[in-house]
A and B are shown apart, each in its own frame.
Chain A
Amino acid sequence: MKKKKDINAHITEHNSIIKRMTDEIKKVIIGQDAIIEKVLIGLFSKGHIIIEGMPGLAKTLLLKTLSQIIHTSFNRIQFTPDLLPADLIGTRIYDRRTGKFYTRKGPIFANLILADEINRAPAKVQSALLEAMEEKQVTIGDETFKLDEPFMVMATQNPIESEGTYRLPEAQVDRFMLKIKIGYPSFDDEHEIINRMTTGRGIKVKTITTPDEILRIREIVDNIYVDELIKKYILNIVFATRKMGSNGVGIEEHIEYGASPRASIYLTTTAKAHAFINSRSHVMPEDVAATAFEVLRHRIILTYEAEAGGVSTDELIKRLFEKVEVP
């Protein structure tokens, strides 16, 4: 598979799964095609994702459905203000009868984690999760446990600041490869939502794939070709978000802190996954643009003035892509 000449064969072999997965998810989720694609990109490029949107836009439903079509261990953790780190990662328990401690692993030990409404839990719990995401291992007492691969955290967050919520600071959101924003459905889609969701019959989905197959796809994605021209294009984009070393595309004045090297890495890996989804063994500039908002929006910190003036990072990213020359 490492050889370039047969990567195309592997792509055609595994690529059909994209359509089968998408079709299955769409039995439940109506519309939101772009969101579904981005969630799959996150899955195939080893990223954790966070979905932000108003309540009731099917964030939980989408991620639950995804976990159902993969034959894998899945835990949904509802984040609440009284959640403790131990509730998440596990704890040491003393057994009086044997006089020994044993470890009870928390719900984080699963392939897929839905951290639902992450902004409702206190910072301590959030950091425990973020640490596990970063290190792919968990320490309980003095024992360290590796988390199973694939390990993917899908978090949801509500953008409305309300009392008793602890919205993740942007610096923490940096741990998530993609920050996906979900919006309201279209008129026709919502019409279909009424039709499908009011019959009283639950919609069942089939399992389509296994963790092993996901890992194999990830390996194929790793081997997708990224030319030097594309790498430089990505660097030009990321550097343009920074005051220092930017080539002056005219957005720097609104930016307090530019995107970190994680942005360059993730733009590259997600572009590869997007190329895979589109049956290509090489990355094109449109693959880079495909997840630009999701990779960059939480990695650009606006100045106070820009924020007060109603400038959004999405707007800056759009302007950025209109200014940076495509190779």
Chain B
Amino acid sequence: MNIGYNPEILVAAETAPLLRDIKPPKEMIYLEWWFIVLLILIFSTVILFTFYRNKSRFTEKSEIADSAVTEQRGHSNELKDAKEIQDEKEYYRVISYILRRHIKDKYQINALESPTTMIIADMAKVDASNDEFKIVQSVLNTADMAKFAGAAFGKKERERVYEDVGLIMK
């Protein structure tokens, strides 16, 4: 049997690589394209969204800061309003309230619900300056006398207390 040149076998050998190069059907390629576009779209949406969220968080933060400022401004307005209160007892009641709320906010002391002796004891534990400590002590004691003992201190003392509280709340 002649096993030399066999054209049939030759043809088969030449077509083999062609046959192995399997390409996806045309529709598949088309889909993949869409897929990429879709991915890009999703990706960009996510990025945009995160960006927006961060941005809104930033604005929120600045809003908090803003409200703190307005609150502070509100408090000092209240102080100014208190200055106009004619009745001495009521004046000291309001001043003491404003000062105690300030201490509560600044040092997380339960100042609105504590008697003066306790506030002073708690103030000694936080890092309030010596001046601040002394002023708070003197203002609250004066206010207590006006509120609970019916003491009348007069105009000078009123002004001194007003300035002291203003100094503390600055």
Contact = CB atoms under 8 A, between A and B. Distances in A.
A310 interface: no
B122 interface: no
Given A229-B93, A284-B144, A286-B118, A323 B150 contact: no
Nearest to B96: A327
B113 A227 contact: no
Interface of B: 93, 110, 112-118, 144, 147-150
Interface string A260-297: 00000000000000000000111111100100000000
Nearest to B118: A286
Contact of B93 (A283, A285, A321, A327): A327
Interface in A183-232: 225, 227, 229-230
A323 B113 CA distance: 6
8 contacts: A227-B150, A280-B149, A282-B148, A286-B115, A324-B113, A326-B113, A326-B114, A327-B147
B14 to A, nearest CB: 92
Given A227-B150, A326-B112, 6 more contacts: A229-B147, A282-B148, A285-B148, A286-B115, A321-B113, A322-B110
Contacts of A324: 113
B149 A286 contact: no
A225 B150 contact: yes
A77 B149 CA distance: 43
Nearest to B114: A326
Contact of A325 (B112, B117, B118): B112
Interface of A: 225, 227, 229-230, 280-286, 289, 321-327
A10 B110 CA distance: 36
A230 B112 contact: no
A268 B163 CA distance: 35
Contacts of B150: 225, 227, 282
A281 B115 contact: no
Contacts of A326: 112-115
A230 B144 CA distance: 11
Nearest to A321: B113
B113 A284 contact: no
B147 A227 contact: yes
Contact of A229 (B115, B116, B118, B148): B148
B149 A281 contact: yes
Contacts of B110: 322
B104 to A, nearest CB: 11
A289 B121 CA distance: 15
Q: Which 10 A-B pairs have the closest CB atoms?
A: A286-B115, A282-B149, A285-B115, A227-B148, A325-B112, A282-B148, A284-B148, A286-B117, A322-B113, A326-B115
A230 B113 contact: no
Nearest to B111: A326
B115 A225 contact: no
A41 B17 CA distance: 111
Contacts of A283: 148
A203 to B, nearest CB: 34
B82 to A, nearest CB: 16
Contacts of A282: 148-150
A19 to B, nearest CB: 20
Contacts of A225: 149-150
A280 B116 CA distance: 15
A142 to B, nearest CB: 50
Contacts of A327: 93, 147
A322 B115 CA distance: 11
Nearest to A249: B113
A230 B148 contact: yes
A258 B118 CA distance: 27
Nearest to A226: B148
A323 B114 CA distance: 9
A281 B112 CA distance: 24
